Structure 1
């Protein structure tokens, strides 16, 4: 008998590789949350419990040297992940398409979504105070499991949802079609992260 694993869903997690930069990013994200009126307005209008520069600032690596340093490190991590995924890029590299800061209030979350028009998406975790939730990933086959029984608890990778709780300083990458969310937290501190998309 042979049991094979087909169509794997890969997830990349590693230390970013620059602890000092994480401190700089925390300062920069908190400053953006204070200064970016358009971002605060968008967050309020869309029920985002905190701040995001997602719809307001699209030039963070040009605007702030900390984000430029982050981009250089992310390019390396994304290249490793692209290789692990077996992408045939025809000699080209994936390019950073967008990058945004997130400062969620302690009880804030972000509902399930995907990142269309991108190849690789990810997040760098800057601050995860007590009560913060991680990244909840959804099995991409879930909608097709019409009559499937639940999976045993001793097989965590086979559950319909898997929650990853990274450490500050970690970078997590996934293919952009993978549905994911941030469940609402129970803490009082600011959950700070930087999210991004890469395209081909």
Structure 2
């Protein structure tokens, strides 16, 4: 899944996010995401979990809605929060608004964006009102996504749902076994990196060292 980074687009707008990434970006728990999915409060729009081996996959709109819900839960009635979530899942974040103001009155939620009130005219009397600073939310998410993407070279990891749990170079989907096979065939680190431009020499060395240890332990077991 590709990502565009320009002054116009928030970082991550075109990405798909796993529940693991969403938890890191919103501070919501796995149980909270599962509950919201199963109750229909906020379901991932890309893919919901359907048994073992499947993942919840969220769009950027989902991520923004989750971020807003995480910050406002506990301060708004559940029904109001549900309507806010549905609203933020539909916004266009490639040309984001600066802010969205909302009111709750007559059993409805009203939104004002760029001077236009959605749903109906602003109620004469509102029980609850608030403002969501969209650009601040997007800027915060963009910074967090960039930090999440920052990869430490030379680490090996196993991630659920990635390459069937096989050891991979951290932050990638490249199995250590693939690097090992190429090195065994006579390729040096520079040759291997031509096939994987995002890797560093430290990544190659770590993958080879990991495979050597793993294979040695199998022989002695």
User: Which of the pair is proportionally richer in helix?
Assistant: 2
TM-score normalized with structure 1 length: 0.26
TM-score normalized with structure 2 length: 0.25
If asked which structure has higher relative contact order (CA below 8 Å, sep 6+), I would say 1
Q: Which has the larger radius of gyration?
A: 2
